[in-house]
A and B are shown apart, each in its own frame.
Chain A
Amino acid sequence: MTWKVNRRLLGPSMAILAAAASMSSAQGQDITFWTQPQGDLLAYQDLYDQLTSEFREQTGISVNYEVINWSVAFNTWLTVAQGGAAPDCADMYWLHSFSGIGGEQYGPLPITEYRDQWPNLEEDFYTGALADVHYQDEFYGIPWRVDIRPMMYRTDFLAEAGIDAPPANWDEIVEQGLALTVREDNGNVSRWGFAPGNNNPGQTLLPYYWQAGGSMMSADGTTATIDNEAMRTALKFLQDLVHVHKISSPEMFEKSADPLTDFVSGQVAINGSSGNAWPVQFDRDYPELDGTWALALNPEGPENRDSFSGAGYWGVLRGASDVDACIEWLKFLSSEETMQRISETTGAASPRRAVMSSGFWTDRPWKEVMAETLNHGHTSQHPSSVWTALASPEPGAVIYDLVYNTVIGGADIDAAVTEAQARMQAELDRATASN
């Protein structure tokens, strides 16, 4: 009896649900979008509330967005790349690794056939950022934020040491570092003259290696190219900072090292490759330090003054329910006006040239430096799915071991480079071998 009653109710209910669903799809599509927060979380969510609402008014497409906390972002994307629950489109990063892990089943979807929807991509965006959305001749999305790392220095310490301008090249780094390092009688160092970067040996090495004229691998990602003079030059320079000139801390690559706190507390005078979020943080959290810090272009190495750069991008995921709707959303997001709003709200440097030359990015000297540094931006990503493993900030990773053992451990550079070349080639083969 009960079953009959339920069946009687079930029929009309299903009909109502089906009608509702068809009405909904007739009115517009629904897509899901995941993003990681930048800047203030509440402001970021407010912005996306506004953007999704405006987009729905314009196109009838509803975007259900979800903010993924950075603390779980890596595991989330790793799961997505292995077939876990995925959105239709998203704000992503590390294209090469997640593409490699997902293969042709999961992870980022190439959208090369839609590339002409952005006819002026090369003119509108910085070259370094565009490298992060291309892999194996395919186009994967639009870069929307860029992690560019200029040099940051304490103007008060430089003035105190009688230095007029920050170091413009490697020689001046050493000169000024010596003048700025403060060593106490008991051997304690109360201020290091120069910190080359952060506590990630791979990220720290890269700009110096590029500045010496090196590249990590061949353009097709199959051949390691680190056994060269440029690598020896870069490693020797970094090794000397620690062991010969003693202007950089031998603890700089340890987990407990915190370059931002060191800089704020005055324990470091110059940071050669500082996080792009630092200036925004300084403005917001350390108003008492206003006027004591400034940005400058990365000092020139033997070949150039390349800067570490990494871009986050908007892309589409394999298995997306409606790729066309996602492309519409990406086009909306990547318009100059929207990217301007996003950059202003988040404080993140934009890979769009027009945004970086707008009033917002030219009203302070540090912002102008940030925009200028983007012209020297060199992508930190490389065309192999194994790149993030090679450059992992953990002992055992090829680049970590190379840099740590030579720069901190004082190991023989020639032998270390030869060994690293062989290990790196084996890793590249692992990602590309046909079995």
Chain B
Amino acid sequence: MTRQKYLFCYMMLAPALIITGALGIYPMIYSLWMSFVEFDLLRIAQFGTPFVGLDNYVAVFGDPRFIQTVVNTILFTVLAVAATVGFGLLLSQVLNATYPGRAVVRMMVCVPWFVPPAVASAIWMWLLHTDRSPVNFLLQDMGLITSNLRFLTDSSTWGPFSLPMLSITAVRVWNGLPFAVIFILAALQSIPRSLYEAAEVDGATLFQKFWYVTLPSLRPILAILLTLLVIGGLGSFEINYIMTGGGPQNLTNIMAVYSYQQAFSFYRFDLASAASGVILIMTGFVSVFYLRSQFKRTL
């Protein structure tokens, strides 16, 4: 009976496992293999795919553009995750409160989630276009700026920061915020009301209630959310590729875009796989760190 039960469970899982294996695990392993061989489309017909060891990794780490994309990726991820979680915490509190029109506000906050990143990129490219940007018109009308801001093309930098990087990050946050808000809102609604009542009896202020009741209660959910957002940020592609293509002057280039360019523009699938391998190691590190902490918690 137990054996039949297991068999049934495996049968039910099989379609999902097969799809994950065929479309997720196999390409990942194949890509890893490509990172250890010469996989140059322009030479493959003549020379095949000889094993080259770590040469591809040495090559990408020897490329200053790649190093810059690693820095950009980390910066972009940290900024986007921090802003998403920060605004997410704030907005979820607003959405959790009781007031007339709450349903409308909740729907409005979720709207960016319904916009695919590619479409969001196209919309924001227009909104942030130097000469046609309504944002520029608005800022000039308000007297905050005198000439157009070059949101996506200004190559001035302040340390590792640039206006295009901040603009791209803002679009990413706009697009990803509803996901965080819904995540946190669901967790907020599961916090027992009695904890807040007890805090009130103890004379806790609004901030103290947030710091000592809300935040500790949200910790498990925030850990999952942070992990997902960091993994998503490290592998982010569409917004950067569509809005700036990594420019100006590589300021918004991130690892996934670099990898795409190596493969589909320069036909170097080996270097692209090595760059993807680095992304895999970074996301794997984050995942292992998270799983380890979860494992410790359950012991």
Residues of A at under 8 Å CB distance from B? 74-75, 78, 81-82, 97, 100-106, 186-190, 250-251, 253-256, 261-262, 265, 267, 385-386, 389, 392-397, 404, 408-409, 430-431, 435
Contact = CB atoms under 8 A, between A and B. Distances in A.
Contacts of A392: 261, 265-266
Contacts of B130: 251, 256
B83 to A, nearest CB: 22
Contact of A395 (B44, B47, B261): B261
Contact of B45 (A97, A101, A394, A397): A101
B82 interface: no
Contact of B265 (A81, A186, A251, A397): A397
B147 A188 contact: yes
Contacts of B261: 392, 394-396
B267 interface: yes
Contacts of B281: none
Interface residues of B, number: 40
Given A255-B243, A409-B249, A430-B42, A435 B266 contact: no
Contacts of A251: 130, 150, 153
Contacts of A254: 152-153, 244-245, 247-248
A256 B243 contact: yes
A103 B46 contact: yes
Nearest to A265: B132
Interface in B243-257: 243-250, 253
B170 interface: no
Contacts, number: 106
Interface string B181-214: 0000000000000000000000000000000000
A251 B247 CA distance: 11
A157 to B, nearest CB: 16
A186 B250 contact: no
Nearest to A431: B42
A270 to B, nearest CB: 17
A256 B42 contact: no
Interface in B104-162: 125, 128-132, 140, 146-148, 150, 152-153, 155
Given A187-B147, A256-B153, A430-B43, A389 B265 contact: yes
B131 A267 contact: yes
Nearest to A104: B45
Contacts of B246: 394-395
B41 A101 contact: yes
Interface string B227-260: 0000000000000001111111110010000100
A256 B45 contact: no
Nearest to A199: B245
5 contacts: A74-B264, A81-B41, A97-B267, A394-B266, A409-B155
A215 to B, nearest CB: 21
B245 A394 contact: yes
Contacts of A408: 248
Contacts of A404: 249
B129 A256 contact: yes
A44 to B, nearest CB: 25
B40 interface: yes
A371 to B, nearest CB: 34
Given A385-B42, A392-B265, A396-B258, 6 more contacts: A100-B42, A101-B45, A104-B45, A251-B130, A254-B248, A430-B42
Contacts of B153: 250-251, 254, 256
Given A395-B65, A395-B253, A256 B265 contact: no
B264 to A, nearest CB: 7
Contacts of A409: 155, 249
B265 A255 contact: no
A261 B129 CA distance: 12
B247 A395 contact: yes
A106 B131 CA distance: 47
Contact of B264 (A78, A102, A187, A430): A78
B65 A105 contact: no
A228 B146 CA distance: 43
A103 B125 CA distance: 40
B147 A395 contact: no
Given A254-B153, A392-B266, A101 B42 contact: yes
A218 to B, nearest CB: 18
A267 B133 CA distance: 13
Contacts of B250: 395
